[in-house]
């Protein structure tokens, strides 16, 4: 299937005339449509809530759109909780799915009345001492082993640092209910970018069974089963993004089979999707500024791995459209590279693309989740701006590009170069 940018060259040129490349561009209409599709897919469960994983796209303007679509948020740090607060999320609208949590993080999350997702049995006393035990709490499960669906291995929970074993989670629930906790949720994130549509239903079956067991053996109340994130998107043109309506219907089948049968028809299902919700609806827009011809053909662009590190970090494929040449033959082979003094700073390696001329605008697809947010400042490279393309075709800058003074903000220059402090 051909991957098409959500924006055309005329609109891009209009944006670029106000805001120079590189920048991340987000598509309001696409984000809203996907949030609606997720909510529709689970509308059979009256208490369903998608807690958008803030780390995927931590911009308050994006979080505000999602709030308007009825989503909550999933946070794991104080600044993420602050973002949630700034946008107006409170209490049950916030999951705090942290791990290796600091005392002040638990205290902050408890003050906001966020739902605590406890990563380990040893955190019971720690949370009791720092913030206090809540009336309802979520427990994070790690089933161990490999996660196999048919012949496909989708993940290795036994290598993951998260969650508790089955016996620990039952023991934690027993201890917590003795200490006054009234109701429990269970949570697991067992795969990442799972484009296999059976991932979510499989995770649901595992968690529904655990919840039923907790209810039956300990007599505890269950308020939520949180399927967390991990539903994938099609980064490659030949891949397919799972149909969320189908996924929701398959989760419903497991809900009927396990939870309704166990006498738990009122449990709320929750998700913490990040990538699925915003991933395809953001792109990195960059300009070709250099070409070099050595052992390979290189196109140097004005963005680098600081703006999108998934290719450098995971060797991840991100589709590239050369704007104005969408239907041109892909008769050149390029490495499309950024400016870091690191040879893994390559947005594309040996990629067939149309002939690229200097000044061409390149759209790097599927950067809307774990894109800007993973950025860093290696080599003193400054992070790009973020622009939101509104549903009506207008656009606004929702985060300015970094300036040198942002890079220097944590230094005290008074001894070295007072003139930089101006």
Ligand X SMILES: *Cc1c(COP(=O)(O)O)cnc(C)c1O
Closer of 187 and 319 to ligand X (Cβ): 187
Closer of 191 and 301 to ligand X (Cβ): 191
Closer of 20 and 144 to ligand X (Cβ): 144
* CB 369 to ligand X: min, Å: 5
Choose, by CB under 6 A, the member of 192, 241, 339, 344 that binds ligand X.
192
Closer of 106 and 395 to ligand X (Cβ): 106
Residue 81 binds to ligand X (criterion: CB under 6 A):
no
Residue 274 binds to ligand X (criterion: CB under 6 A):
yes
Closer of 273 and 364 to ligand X (Cβ): 273
Binding mask 106-145 for ligand X (x = CB under 6 A): ----------------------------------------
**Structural contact between residues 91 and 134, judged by C-beta atoms closer than 8 angstroms:** no
* CB 190 to ligand X: min, Å: 11
Closer of 280 and 354 to ligand X (Cβ): 280
Residues 30-69 that bind ligand X (CB under 6 A): 53, 55-56
Q: Report helix, strand or coil for 37.
A: helix
Cα–Cα distances (Å) from 194 to 89, 273, 312, 364, in that order, read 28, 11, 20, 21
Residue 230 binds to ligand X (criterion: CB under 6 A):
yes
- Sole residue written with tokens 């919840």: 211
Q: How far apart are CA 52 and CA 97, in angstroms?
A: 12
Exposure string of 53-88, with b = 16+ CB inside 10 Å and e = fewer, is bbbbbbbbbbbebbbebebbbbbbbbebbebbbebe
Q: Which residues pair with 377 in a beta bridge?
A: none
* CB 211 to ligand X: min, Å: 18
* CB 229 to ligand X: min, Å: 3
Q: Point out which span in 17-25, 29-37, 209-217, 226-234 binds ligand X (CB under 6 A).
A: 226-234
Closer of 12 and 194 to ligand X (Cβ): 194
Choose, by CB under 6 A, the member of 127, 164, 188, 189 that binds ligand X.
189
Residue 280 binds to ligand X (criterion: CB under 6 A):
no
Cα–Cα distances (Å) from 191 to 16, 57, 77, 159, 210, in that order, read 37, 19, 22, 12, 18
Q: Point out which span in 103-111, 131-139, 222-230, 292-300 binds ligand X (CB under 6 A).
A: 222-230
**Structural contact between residues 109 and 116, judged by C-beta atoms closer than 8 angstroms:** yes
Closer of 116 and 356 to ligand X (Cβ): 116
Q: Point out which span in 105-113, 172-180, 227-235, 254-262 binds ligand X (CB under 6 A).
A: 227-235
**Structural contact between residues 276 and 232, judged by C-beta atoms closer than 8 angstroms:** yes
Closer of 56 and 207 to ligand X (Cβ): 56
Cα–Cα distances (Å) from 415 to 17, 137, 419, 420, in that order, read 40, 50, 10, 11
Q: Point out which span in 213-221, 248-256, 266-274, 328-336 binds ligand X (CB under 6 A).
A: 266-274
Q: How far apart are CA 205 and CA 379, in angstroms?
A: 46
Closer of 67 and 370 to ligand X (Cβ): 370
- Sole residue written with tokens 């406890």: 118
CA dihedral 237, 196, 318, 320 (to 10 degrees): 20
Sign of the Cα pseudo-torsion (212, 218, 222, 226, in order): negative
For residue 270 the two structure tokens come to 């929750």
Binding-site size for ligand X (CB under 6 A) equals 16
Cβ neighbours of residue 37 closer than 8 Å, sequence gap 6 or more = 244, 245
- Sole residue written with tokens 């299902």: 269
**Structural contact between residues 7 and 284, judged by C-beta atoms closer than 8 angstroms:** no
* CB 33 to ligand X: min, Å: 17
Choose, by CB under 6 A, the member of 273, 337, 353, 363 that binds ligand X.
273
Residue 74 binds to ligand X (criterion: CB under 6 A):
yes
For residue 166 the two structure tokens come to 């089955």
Residue 272 binds to ligand X (criterion: CB under 6 A):
yes
Q: Which residues pair with 46 in a beta bridge?
A: none
Residue 197 binds to ligand X (criterion: CB under 6 A):
no
Binding mask 362-381 for ligand X (x = CB under 6 A): -------x------------
Applying CB under 6 A, the residues found at the interface with ligand X are 53, 55-56, 74, 97, 189, 192, 228-230, 272-276, 369
């Amino acid at each position: 299937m051909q991957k098409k940018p959500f924006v055309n060259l005329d609109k891009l040129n209009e944006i670029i005339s106000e805001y120079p490349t590189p920048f991340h561009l987000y598509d309001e209409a696409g984000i809203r449509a996907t949030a609606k599709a997720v909510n529709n897919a689970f509308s059979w469960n009256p208490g369903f809530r998608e807690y958008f994983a803030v780390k995927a796209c931590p911009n308050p303007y994006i979080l505000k759109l999602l709030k308007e679509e009825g989503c909550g948020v999933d946070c794991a740090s104080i600044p993420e909780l602050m973002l949630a607060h700034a946008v107006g999320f409170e209490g049950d609208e916030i999951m705090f799915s942290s791990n290796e949590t600091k005392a002040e993080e638990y205290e902050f999350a408890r003050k906001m009345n966020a739902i605590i997702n406890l990563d380990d049995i040893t955190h019971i006393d720690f949370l009791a001492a720092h913030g206090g035990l809540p009336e309802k709490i979520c427990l994070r499960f790690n089933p161990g082993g490999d996660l196999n669906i048919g012949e496909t291995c989708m993940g290795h929970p036994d290598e993951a640092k998260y969650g508790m074993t089955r016996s620990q989670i039952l023991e934690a629930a027993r201890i917590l209910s003795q200490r006054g906790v009234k109701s429990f949720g269970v949570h697991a994130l067992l795969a990442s970018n799972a484009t296999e549509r059976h991932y979510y239903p499989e995770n649901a079956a595992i968690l529904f069974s655990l919840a039923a067991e907790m209810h039956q053996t300990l007599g505890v109340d269950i308020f939520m089963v949180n399927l967390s994130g991990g539903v994938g998107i099609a980064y490659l043109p030949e891949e397919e993004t799972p149909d969320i309506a189908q996924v929701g219907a398959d989760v419903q089948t497991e809900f009927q089979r396990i939870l309704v049968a166990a006498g738990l028809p009122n449990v709320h299902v929750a998700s913490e999707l990040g990538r699925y919700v915003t991933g395809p609806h953001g792109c990195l827009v960059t300009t070709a500024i250099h070409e070099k011809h050595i052992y390979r053909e290189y196109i140097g662009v004005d963005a680098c791995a600081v703006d999108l590190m998934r290719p450098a970090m995971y060797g991840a494929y991100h589709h590239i459209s050369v704007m104005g040449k969408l239907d041109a033959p892909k008769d050149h082979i390029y490495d499309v590279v950024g400016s870091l003094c690191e040879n893994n700073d390559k947005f594309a390696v040996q990629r067939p693309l149309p002939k690229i001329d200097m000044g061409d605008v390149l759209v790097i697809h599927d950067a809307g989740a774990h894109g800007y947010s993973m950025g860093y400042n290696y080599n003193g490279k400054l992070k790009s701006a973020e622009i939101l393309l509104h549903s009506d075709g207008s656009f606004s800058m929702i985060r300015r590009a970094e300036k040198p003074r942002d890079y220097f903000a944590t230094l005290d220059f008074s001894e070295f170069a007072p003139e930089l402090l101006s």
